[in-house]
Amino acid sequence: MPNQRTGPGGRSPDSRLASILRASSELIAWIATPWALWSSSIPLAILSVVVLIGLPTVFTTPGDKAHGMIPVPGVVTIALVLMELAAAVISSWSAWYPGIAIVVSVLAVACVVAEIPRWRWLATQR
């Protein structure tokens, strides 16, 4: 039975599986993106890490995460997750062997499927 964070206070329905898939995808994005950009531009590679880690840390939807400095509507949080997933997939295809990129792509699809209940909830948050 998935661990659902629901209940009083309108907390997001974020399952443990969705959290694990999302965290794994984020970690891959944080590694693959600078790896893919490093040979082209070291400053851009460093900036990519700052953006990929910094934006989701600073901007959060109230009720979704316990931390965050600036509250944003749920659609912004969805867009940030999609940015992370896109960075993981695109960068893995650019930086790594196709076999690894295929695994990353499957992970991203699984993450999207697992995120659907949370995204439905986030879409209603202003």
pLDDT by residue (tens digit) across 14-62?
Answer: 889 999 999 999 999 999 999 999 999 999 999 999 999 999 999 999 8
| pLDDT at 3 (0 to 100) | 39
Q: How far is CA 70 from CA 43, 59, 60, 66, in A?
A: 26, 5, 6, 12
The percent of residues in the chain predicted with pLDDT above 90, rounded, is: 80
| pLDDT at 10 (0 to 100) | 67
pLDDT by residue (tens digit) across 96-122?
Answer: 999 999 999 999 999 999 999 999 999
On whether the CB atoms of residues 118 and 11 are closer than 8 A, the answer is no
| pLDDT at 6 (0 to 100) | 46
For residue 104, give the nearest of 39, 26, 52 by alpha carbon: 26
d(CA 39, CA 33): 11
The answer, yes or no, to whether residue 67 has pLDDT greater than 80, is: no
- Spatial neighbors of 45 by CB under 8 A, at least 6 apart, are 33, 34, 35, 37, 38
Confidence of residue 94 (pLDDT cuts 50, 70, 90): very high
